[in-house]
Structure 1
Amino acid sequence: MPPSRTNSSAGPGSPDVFGFYDEDTGSVQYLVACPATRKAATIDVVQGFDPRSAATDVDAARHILRFAESEGLEIEWVLDTHPHADHAMASAWLAAETGAPNAIGEKVVEIARLWRDLYNLPDAFDPTRDFARLFADGDTFAIGTLPVRVMLSPGHTLGSITYVVGDDAAFVHDTLMQPDVGTTRADFPGGSAEDLWDSLQKILALPDETRLFVGHDYGTGDRAPQWEATVREHRRHNAHIGGGVTKSEFIETRQARDRTLPLPDRMLHVLQMNLRAGKAPPAEGDGHSYLRIPLNRF
């Protein structure tokens, strides 16, 4: 099965980007490849989770690996941008399957501390154990010959990061939505509309033709799901920050919108997995794993 959309390299310094759409959660999963070396990285791959039965699967991850193999791509990195609230991540499974290091931002350690308190699980979650690399703001690495720079982009969570790949692609996760939709919520524990504004200004300071790949889209009445637009398009047309919107206007709009949004139906389940790189909690005496759900905390 092919990817949902392919964005081809524009030349030296520009990655091939394959987007795989997850209809259940509106999430976009990425396979990013260096055309010169055929080295690649996954970004924000989804592990299936049914909130009704708590059943999991790695169908999407398997599909992406099969596609990579068919294209002659070798996975060098398994990347996530933040501990997702709407889907379980496939990070640990992909790392085990490929032998590639899995990575996320270093502030996941602070997020883990926050959620230990919310779950009343004082000994749970050790990101330094479950992720091979915790990136700091400004860290660099490579996918093949393509340089990658890490930008701290808090707001949606306190530890979200952006991956700037080569000279014309940035994976901006849950900061921006498509220009006609706006931006992403900032009301989860550790989130901040003010921090989100500051992160967006740094992203929109990238060169005009930088392709910005977002983490989610749900389509609208006028179009099917999309996930790419340029910095220039967002500066001019983004529904929340385009056309000279001030910081105070943005914060007011974002906070008013967030007050209308329910929690994602998977959030309290999957964060216990995502703070373990997508692994289930340790099995108990009967050999099964169990999730802990706080009542009346949200």
Structure 2
Amino acid sequence: MKLLRVGPPGEERPAVLDEAGRARDLRGLLGHEADFDGAFFASGQTARIANALLSDELPLLGGDGITGTPESRIGPPIARPGKIVCIGLNYRDHAEETGAALPTEPIIFMKAPNTVVGPGDEVLIPRGSVKTDWEVELAVVIGATARYLGSHQEALACVAGYAVSNDVSEREFQLERGGQWDKGKSCETFNPLGPWLVTADEVPDPQSLGLRLWVNGEVRQDGDTKNMIFGVAEVVRYVSQFMVLEPGDVINTGTPAGVALGMPDHPYLRKGDVVELEIDGLGRQRQIVGQA
């Protein structure tokens, strides 16, 4: 299933796409206060949504689904993630383009949860920034508490689904301002997510997904998750050894080559640039770059 949240910022309503690509309202089924947050994923209600979708019980959202009006804005598919865990240098070609040694263990850093915005929302260049960069990534959404997992099978059983993520980064803040990656990763709007969460049952092999990114219509990244150094199952298992992963948490699993940092001319983002990105089967994003 494809789960999404539709509406103005802070007023998003949970929905699911039907086979025709129309948004079906879930408030009647789940309750008007329900949202796709940690409590939802912990409750295991996705089977209930699937059954209601099959029986055609769910009304169209706004009468005709997503209409393009402000009220039909697609927000991030996760409300209030508890934490965002990120994996650095997880593609061989990306490590090589940045001149970094291949990691022998996953590199972990954190990203502030309030960086998450919708897939079509504006990305803001921070004040004082001259090196704002893009990164298309496969995001993993956790669906069950994970601590000290012992196998890849256990790890994948804790995954609720997958989404497209843009791990926007400010390279000067990240690499030249004291060595703290979080400073270059946690600026406002720095994690567009969505357009939807695709449940894990519809992604049988997360290591076989093409992912691409364009800036102003020019292809910048064109990779495949099969080239990860540490696959999804290993990332989830590994992270669970160091922190408890909870339902609704997000893991950004790394980016392939093609970022501005790795290019000879370093064409960092500027106000007015248009960034588009997609992952096979998970949808497409589009952001216009603004200035904070």
**TM-score (normalizing by structure 2):** 0.24
Larger RCO (CA within 8 A; separation ≥ 6): 2
Instruction: Tell me which protein shows more strand as a share of its residues.
Output: 2
**TM-score (normalizing by structure 1):** 0.24
